[in-house]
Amino acid sequence: MESYLYTAVNREGRKVRGEKRAEDVVHLYALLNNEGLYCLNAHRKAQWETQTGKPKNQELSLMCKQLAAMLSSGIPLVNALEMLRQKSDKKKMKKLYAQLVEEVRKGSSLTLAMRQCQQAFPPLLIYLVQAGEMNGTLDAVMERMAGHYDKEYKLRNKVTSALIYPIMLLVVTVAVILALMTSVVPSFLSMVGDMALPWNTLLLISMSNFIVAYWPFLILGVLFLALGVRMALKVPALRRGFDELKVKFPLFGTLNRIVATSRFARTFSSLYSSGISVIDSLQVSGDVLNNRYFTEKIGWISERVRRGEMLSRSIEASQAFDPLLNSMMYVGEESGSLEDVLNSISDYYDTEADNATQKMVAMMEPIMIIILAIIIFFVIISILMPIYDSYGMIA
């Protein structure tokens, strides 16, 4: 069903504007006619008008946790969704709950209702909800997904929080450089006059003059560069290369690989523990990572597993994930306890991702401080050398 915006006239002759979901325009006219409204015009709601926005991991975790509690208490699904709609204080979530309630009341399953919500819900959640509805374990699935999205939120929050200080240090470095080039160096020029200057001072003055004269064009250049990079990353081949670079880059590569391994292990564990086949679990896990390099590798792994090769051997041959993942999954396959091992792997790599983040930040801080010190030292030396030479000439 599609959402339509309409303008109609009621029985009193007053214009009424609103929104209604219908199969098509003919169906919309019939629905309005049943309500005593004569439709003047209507159009399908554009995607930017319809899109409510995707819920964040924290919101998904809360939704799943509340649904799990209500469903396990015997509350019917439609009543549980209606209660969530009434309790929610966020407009985005209220709208999503309202759409779910509307679809479920018409007889749709929760899976189908989620698919109708303009891609607001992630494929992983929809896939597991479908499995839960088929197996009669929807409350257990919701409980598991609440923990899944809670861990996703905490992992992302830890990485973001750890990167705040290096980013602030980078901003301070750029601000100091700009202040020196646009304020200190021009003041220094008035002091040196026509003196013979060393090469480093001439270089500093040239850089300062360039920044002062062309700063509007520099800002525009940075903006156009950012826009160009964003457009270039929409090209599949370039995006795939960029995603691979993120994994193999010396400083950030280890962190990105560990985080990807953590997310893959957690997602695959949730799917496999719900009774979903290995092939389907791999496919959904690849989509969740949102990285074309890993998606391609997981597709390659899936193909080898389909041909009868062990999952752990296929992962090892791909060389995509952290090597320890292969060994732990091999133990699980050989012992017949892959489900239990997957849960342990997920918890282990959550901790490893946190440790990798802390290590990367610990490496970045001294590097950026040294770079800032070198720049300031270069500027100070370039300014002091002519002054010292002038005093020597006077003496």
3-class SS of residue 321 = coil
Q: What is the mean pLDDT of each run of 10 residues along the chain (395 residues)?
A: 78 78 79 83 58 79 93 92 89 87 88 81 87 88 90 82 80 82 74 71 84 87 92 88 88 84 86 85 84 91 92 91 88 84 82 82 81 84 76 57
Are the beta carbons of 59 and 88 closer than 8 angstroms? Answer: no
Q: Position 17: which residue type?
A: R
Q: Is the dihedral of CA 161, 165, 170, 171 positive or negative?
A: positive
Across the chain, how many H-helices and E-strands are there?
A: 17, 3
pLDDT score for 165: 78
pLDDT score for 314: 93
Tell me which residue of 107, 108, 94, 103 sits closest to 63, measured CA to CA.
Answer: 94
Pull the structure tokens for residue 318. 């791909």
User: What is the pTM for the complete model shown?
Assistant: 0.70
Q: For residue 354, give Cα distances in angstroms to 88, 163, 259, 324.
A: 32, 12, 9, 16
Pull the structure tokens for residue 191. 């002091």
Going by C-beta distance under 8 Å and a sequence separation of 6 or more, which residues neighbour residue 157? Answer: none
User: Element (H or E) spanning 21, and its range?
Assistant: strand 15-22
CB atoms within 10 A of CB 67: 25
Tell me which residue of 121, 192, 152 sits closest to 388, measured CA to CA.
Answer: 192
pLDDT score for 224: 94
Pull the structure tokens for residue 276. 């979903």
Going by C-beta distance under 8 Å and a sequence separation of 6 or more, which residues neighbour residue 255? Answer: 159, 353, 356, 357, 360
Are the beta carbons of 93 and 101 closer than 8 angstroms? Answer: no
pLDDT score for 61: 93
3-class SS of residue 320 = coil
Fill in the DSSP letter of residue 45: P
CB atoms within 10 A of CB 198: 13
Tell me which residue of 181, 178, 184, 183 sits closest to 206, measured CA to CA.
Answer: 181
Fill in the DSSP letter of residue 54: P
